[in-house]
Amino acid sequence: MQRKIAIGVSVSLIVIAVILLWLARTPEETVTATPVAATTAAPQGLPSPQEVASAIEKSKTDTRFKTGRESMPKSLMDTEVDGALEVDKNGNLIISQSIRQTFDYFLSAIGEEDLTTIV
């Protein structure tokens, strides 16, 4: 009987300590943006032939949008992520069952790929 009481008191103290630590944390400092000085120089005329050639060469490189799914393990190909990462209005992660499902989805490929590739 006393063991149950001791466990209950211990758990209660741990919960209270965690709540107090969570409430005692300081809010993150807000970052203020500094205004960027506007340039007064307006573009004049057409670009030079060197600028045009440079722009053409730059556009020839592969600039397609990459989703990150191109290098997924074979066992995860053609599948959808089970779960989601949700945030509240302040941008804080909401801890839910969905987070565990998301981690389980990606960690299921550990035998197929190493951890650094998956992460």
Mean pLDDT for 52-67 is 74
Question: How far is residue 27's CA from residue 91's CA, in Å, rounded to a whole number?
Answer: 13
**What predicted TM-score, i.e. pTM, was given to this entire model?**
0.38
Average pLDDT over residues 111-116: 75
Per-residue pLDDT reduced to its tens digit, 1-20: 788 888 888 888 898 888 87
75 vs 43, residue with greater confidence = 75
What average pLDDT does the chain have?
Answer: 76
- Judged against a pLDDT cut of 60, whether residue 61 lies above it is answered with yes
